[in-house]
Each structure stands twice: as C-alpha cells, then as structure tokens.
C-alpha cells in the first residue's frame, strides 16, 4: 500500500461574473481509496458536485463573482500496488469492448490518423503486446526533450513529434497517438504524484488497453506510475483539464504539494503529512471558455 497526502492551492482574480468547472478531487475508484478530504472555496459560494459515470472523474461547478477567488483542496489517498504481467497481449479491434472502442479514435490533441504511417515505420515490425507499448514509451523518453515552456495548451502530439520537445502531457499525448495509430486503445490520466523536478504540478501519464485491462505508462519517467493518485481520465487533455473557465478569470497563483508514506512500514518517504486534520466528505455523484490543462 502507498499513502499520499495532497495539498492544492489555486488562486484567481475574477474580472467579471464567470462560471467555473473544477476537476481536482481524487477519483474514488480503481486501485485507490480516499481516506479523507477537504475542499474550501473563498468567498463561500453554492457548489454543484457530480461524478461522470464513464470516467469516474469528479467535478465541481459554481458561479464566481468579481474579486479574488481562493480554492483549497487537501486529501489523504491510499493506493494499492498493481502487479502488471509481462505477457499482456494486444486485442484485435473486433474484441475491444464497446465502451473502450472510442479510445482508438483520433482526437484534438492525438492525431493518430495523421501519424499512422510514422507509427508503423517505427513500431510496426515489433511483436504486438505490452512490449511494443513499452518500446513506444522508451522511444518517447529517448527522443523527446522535457522542456517546460516548449508547448502550450493548444500543442498537439504531431507538433511535439516535429519539435521534439514538450512536457508531461505532451509525452502522454504522443504515447496515446502512437498506440491508437496501431489500433491499441489508449487514454490520458492526470493526477498527483511526488517528484524532485520540475516544481510540483499536476502530472499526466497514459494507459493502454492490453490483455483486457488498462495499464499505466509514463514516458517522462519522473515517478513510478503506481504512485500516481488519479484525478482525471479522458480521451486527451480536453477531457481532464483541472479547471475550465467560462468568463474573464485570471490565475494569480498555483501551488501543489504531495507527501508520501509507502510500504508496510509506513515510514515517511519524503516529508511528514500536512498539518491539521482531514475531514472525510462524501460527494454525490455564450461566454469565452478557457481551459487550464496539466503542464
């Protein structure tokens, strides 16, 4: 088991009345369990909370009045270690479940239709299976430079392939694109995880459908994927932005901190947990639009 303590701080200046959609809460599904969490928005405002049944993403909606806006989220999340077999096979398209099939399609950031020839040239001769996906991950890690500021919220996988530089979401988008070009369903996963460099931020990885299950991969190799606390899952970054803004709102500050306890001994691996008590909270399941995506 692995225990992560998370603190997220998002500060904004609301210029004119706006509507906000947040996706910053840890998912309550799969290999992880939310032990406790607390969400605070200042000034206090009525919120609507809902969970997307297909992805498990948890959303918060509210109206924001002009002036300073502060959002604070804290959580303790326990995550089980996943054992991934080394012989997982790729599934023929005819065997891909209905609810997974759309993860084989090109999307705004993952132009798998335009990258199919390239994917076949690079990986088409490799034996199908988890080894081929790992080869994709290795190629991205060795061929793409991790350079903060080299891309923006509109950068696509094809552009990253040409420029040979990007950040975590670009690495993940390229992995997804190569997989889909080979008819391997793949999707984006974002969440919280501790790593040394660069400064702490939301982290993006991807997962591929192999042997009838989703398997996580991180081409950046910034942190073991089984330590990632999942927040959002989607076709690409458009589905998993941590904040979507409808109106004139400007971010003034963003701070994230992740502290970890791991293994059976549960001794601090990085730093002690955040101060203060976490309270478990059960959640029920045309203006201009700005999307703030994972860096």
The full set of domains in the chain, from first to last, is 2-80+241-292 (2.60.40.2250), 93-239 (3.10.620.30)
pLDDT at 5: 96
176/77 Cα distance (integer angstroms): 27
175-222: pLDDT as tens digits: 999 999 999 999 999 999 998 776 788 999 999 999 999 999 999 999
19-41: pLDDT as tens digits: 999 999 999 987 899 999 999 99
140-184: pLDDT as tens digits: 999 999 999 999 999 999 999 999 999 999 999 999 999 999 999
| CA neighbours closer than 13 Å in the CB half-sphere of residue 169 | 30
Q: Are 20 and 254 in contact (CB under 8 A)?
A: no
Q: Which 3 state secondary structure label does DSSP give 44?
A: coil
Residue 189, φ and ψ in degrees, nearest 5: -130, 130
pTM, rounded to two decimals: 0.88
């Amino acid at each position: 088991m692995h225990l992560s303590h998370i603190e997220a701080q998002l500060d904004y200046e609301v210029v004119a009345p706006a509507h906000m959609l947040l996706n910053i809460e840890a998912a309550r599904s799969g290999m992880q369990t939310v032990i406790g969490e607390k969400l605070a928005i200042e000034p206090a405002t009525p919120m609507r909370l809902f969970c997307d049944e297909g992805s498990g993403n948890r959303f918060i909606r509210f109206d924001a009045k002009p002036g300073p806006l502060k959002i604070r989220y804290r959580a303790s999340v326990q995550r089980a270690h996943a054992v991934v077999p080394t012989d997982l096979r790729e599934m023929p398209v005819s065997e891909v479940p209905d609810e997974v099939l759309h993860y084989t399609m090109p999307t705004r950031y993952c132009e798998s239709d335009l990258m199919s020839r390239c994917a076949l040239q690079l990986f088409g001769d490799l034996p199908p299976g988890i080894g081929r996906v790992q080869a994709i991950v290795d190629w991205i890690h060795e061929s793409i430079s991790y350079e903060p500021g080299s891309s923006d919220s509109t950068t696509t996988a094809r552009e990253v392939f040409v420029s040979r530089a990007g950040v975590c979401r670009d690495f993940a988008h390229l992995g997804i694109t190569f997989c889909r070009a080979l008819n391997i369903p793949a999707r984006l996963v974002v969440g919280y995880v501790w790593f040394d460099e660069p400064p702490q931020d939301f982290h993006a990885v991807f997962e591929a459908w192999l042997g009838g299950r989703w398997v996580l991969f991180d081409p950046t190799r910034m942190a073991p994927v089984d330590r990632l606390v999942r927040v959002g899952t989607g076709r690409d970054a458009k589905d998993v932005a941590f904040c979507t803004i409808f109106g004139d709102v400007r971010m003034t500050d963003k701070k994230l901190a992740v502290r970890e306890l791991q293994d059976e001994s549960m001794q601090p691996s990085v730093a002690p947990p955040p101060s203060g008590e976490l309270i478990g909270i059960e959640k029920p399941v045309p203006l201009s639009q700005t999307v703030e995506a994972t860096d």
